[in-house]
Chain A
Amino acid sequence: MDNNVFVDAYDNARPEDINVECIEKDMLEEQKKQETQKGLINELDNYQLDSIDKNKAKNDGVVIVMNSNRRRWPELMMLTAAAFVVVILATFISKELKKDNDINVGDNNTKTPAAELALGNFKEEFSESNQAADFYKELDMTEDILNINIEAKVEWVEGDYAYLTYMNEENIESSCKLNYKTHKVETEYSKQEISEGTSCIFMYDSKIYRAVLGDYNGERGIRIFEPDDVENVLCFIKASEGSFKYYTGGQNIVFKLSDYENEYPISSRVVRLNLKSMEASEIMSITSEIINQSDAQDLADMNKKFRYKFNSDSDNMPYEGRGGYASSIHIASVDKEGFYYQLPNSKGLKDTYYYSFDKKQHSKIDGLSGSNIDYLMYADAEYAVYKESKGTIHIADYSKSKIYTIETKTEYGVDEYYGAGRFGDNQIAIGQYSVGFIILDFNNMTYHYEDTRSNMSYEWRLTQNTEGNSFLQLMTGNSNSLILGK
């Protein structure tokens, strides 16, 4: 009811007060996305699913296709998607506790080696599964201890401590350090001054840090401090009105800053914070200049509407001819040596680059650029996960020169899949927004799916000429593909 007051209030809106540019930007992005998808779908039809019954595959649900297309790949990088994995693993352990280690596989309540393997890897990651189980018992109690809602998010688990963020009863973003051995909350942070604006928690060298965007000593920027020492600012990164995303890898945290000027974001910066030295350095920035804002015909062509100036600390960064919006730098993953990112090119498609911290050099990765890829979810030296078109996710295994395709037929298609990361050796995890996640095990060639809504686990093994349970169908005439029915 309260929200409708604002809806009704806008009945009195004056045209001059309404931000039309933001909705124009949305519309153009959607149009571009649709056009790109059309092109990619056509391409996909031509090469990707030739070996199987395409129509049947598309009608039946999820498809895994092995494809031996070789793609180029740089000899760089290892990467951790720690935050992502923590969330996934935390969910996993919670479910493990609830199910008392009894994993459902398909229709049968039996354990499988692969399911155990997945859990085994998880335990190995955190090494102390009993502590983790205790922690979750404690987490269930945090509602009483902190008087918080149950939507507390596990940011990190380290030693005896878990670090949570949540909204307190006054609806202020808060965080706490929870000792799950003593079952006590040792530190609680809910100060208004650190809750304003965007914030994040990250860990380096067994220490927890917090980054908060807000005003500090009359300047606006990101403050880095240890949560229990708010006053001691370890690093300050200038940032104007806007927001940030962060990506961690090794001893580095890379911030993507979206700076707002006037009415909507028109600049984007990438800043690296070396956690060892606590020194921040700007890697690249993009500023946009509106050439002809009012010519509606040109609005259909973003390349004509905006001109961009790229600033970078190296000379090999592409400077001219780029279209798209300044905020469209997308960082996919960070490791100790550099990071992967995407930029729109002059044709409206996306190119992938790798930036090396040491060499201060941007290298274009052809195999992950242009019409081959729409959105890079994750990349490292061995694997890449990317969305190619609506309903299609590809996982490239460069050690085996194979590309696997997951085709979904959900309401939002690949939009439901929000992130990906490494999950132990030769395993890739792909998160599905509010629904579940997938773990692909390339050692055992299994596809494991966790449905977090129904609290069920499913698993399929990639085998040849074997009839599976009701969730598995083997395509005749093709020994290395299968369809997973819904």
Chain B
Amino acid sequence: MEEDIIALLSQGDERGIELAAKRYGALIRYVIKGILGNRENDIEECVNDTYLKFWKNYDSYDSAKALIKNYLVVIARNTALTKLRTIMNEEKHIDGGELSDCAKEYVQHGMNPEEKAIEKENLELVYSLVNNLKAEERELIQRRYFYMQSSKYIADKMNMTVSAVDNKISRIKKKLKVRYDERCSGKDGGIKTWTIMFL
């Protein structure tokens, strides 16, 4: 298990981070690279930021809930996405060839920040609904929107055709819409929000 890392980090020993980096460095880099493409310098920066954030926030780590690698992957993904947002603000043109189609769409969306799709509290509801999907459905959505993998990549990894991936994701989104509407039926603007989301 990860007791050796936890033991070191609990004592404030930086060697815990070194050990985590040794074990999970390739994984973290892989996750970040999936979002940032071939921007090596940015990837390197995000990898280091991931360790730093985990180190600084180690007090909030709960080993009963998840493994360290899960925490690191979540931090890495969010760090890479934050980096992508920064890049979008700083660079007028981003070479889309380096990014997955999901990331490309995200980049294009980022160019129009006034198009805020949904309120934060509703984002949490969306997340909880996604989390209650069946395992395969959840993996599809996670691969697409958490890891930002392309349809072709997902198809290859999940033994499906590209069109099957797109079709299934489309169906899942429809299903989520129904559930979301049900949950929001008592709230003002819930249905309206989804209308925007699924346009």
Q: Which residues of A contact B (CB under 8 A)?
A: 1-20, 22-27, 29-31, 151, 153, 167, 171, 173, 198, 241-243, 245, 256, 258, 260, 262-265, 294-297, 300, 327, 433
Contacts and interface: CB of A to CB of B under 8 A. Distances in A.
Contacts of A171: 167, 170-171, 174
A297 B199 contact: no
B105 to A, nearest CB: 6
Contacts of A198: 160, 164
A397 to B, nearest CB: 29
Given A8-B118, A241-B135, A296 B126 contact: no
Interface string B121-142: 0011011001100111011011
Contact of B146 (A1, A13, A262): A13
B19 to A, nearest CB: 9
A16 B143 CA distance: 16
Contacts of B51: none
Contact of A18 (B70, B105, B197): B70
25 contacts: A4-B105, A4-B106, A5-B197, A6-B126, A7-B81, A7-B148, A8-B118, A9-B126, A9-B127, A15-B66, A16-B66, A18-B73, A18-B74, A18-B142, A20-B70, A153-B163, A171-B167, A171-B170, A198-B160, A243-B159, A243-B160, A263-B139, A265-B158, A296-B24, A300-B26
Contact of A10 (B139, B146, B160, B167): B146
B30 A3 contact: no
A12 B109 contact: no
A27 B71 contact: no
A6 B70 CA distance: 19
Interface of B: prevailing SS = helix
Nearest to B26: A27
A432 to B, nearest CB: 14
Contacts of A12: 123-124, 127
Contact of A8 (B67, B73, B77, B117): B117
Contacts of A327: 159
Contacts of B105: 3-4
A469 B53 CA distance: 60
Contacts of A30: 30
Nearest to A263: B135
A241 B136 contact: yes
Interface of B: 1-2, 23-24, 26-27, 30-31, 65-67, 69-71, 73-74, 77-78, 81, 102, 105-106, 109, 115, 117-118, 123-124, 126-127, 130-131, 134-136, 138-139, 141-148, 152, 157-160, 163-164, 167, 170-171, 173-174, 196-199
B157 A8 contact: no
For the complex of A and B, the 8 pairs showing the least CB-CB separation, nearest first, are A296-B23, A6-B145, A15-B70, A16-B66, A15-B66, A9-B126, A9-B127, A27-B30
Given A15-B70, A15-B74, 9 more contacts: A5-B117, A6-B145, A8-B118, A12-B123, A18-B66, A26-B157, A31-B26, A243-B164, A265-B158
B74 A13 contact: yes
A403 to B, nearest CB: 27
A335 to B, nearest CB: 22
Contact of B118 (A5, A20, A294): A5
A2 B173 contact: yes
Nearest to B137: A241
B123 A8 contact: yes
A245 B155 CA distance: 12
B117 A2 contact: yes
A6 B66 contact: no
Contacts of A258: 158-159
B73 A15 contact: yes
Given A4-B106, A242-B136, A9 B23 contact: no
Given A2-B199, A5-B123, A9-B145, A23 B73 contact: yes
A167 B162 CA distance: 13
Nearest to B109: A4
A373 B66 CA distance: 40
Nearest to B173: A2
B101 to A, nearest CB: 10
A29 B30 CA distance: 12
A16 B27 CA distance: 17
B135 A1 contact: no
B117 to A, nearest CB: 5
A13 B145 CA distance: 11
A433 B155 CA distance: 13
Contacts of B66: 14-16, 18
Contacts of B69: 20, 296
B118 to A, nearest CB: 5
Contacts of B148: 7
A448 to B, nearest CB: 26
Contact of B197 (A2, A241, A297): A2
B32 to A, nearest CB: 11
B70 A1 contact: no
Given A5-B126, A17-B131, A294 B2 contact: yes
B160 A15 contact: no
Nearest to A8: B123
A173 B117 contact: no
Contacts of B70: 15-16, 18, 20
Contacts of A13: 74, 77, 127, 146
B24 to A, nearest CB: 6
Contacts of B74: 13-15, 18
Contacts of A263: 135, 139
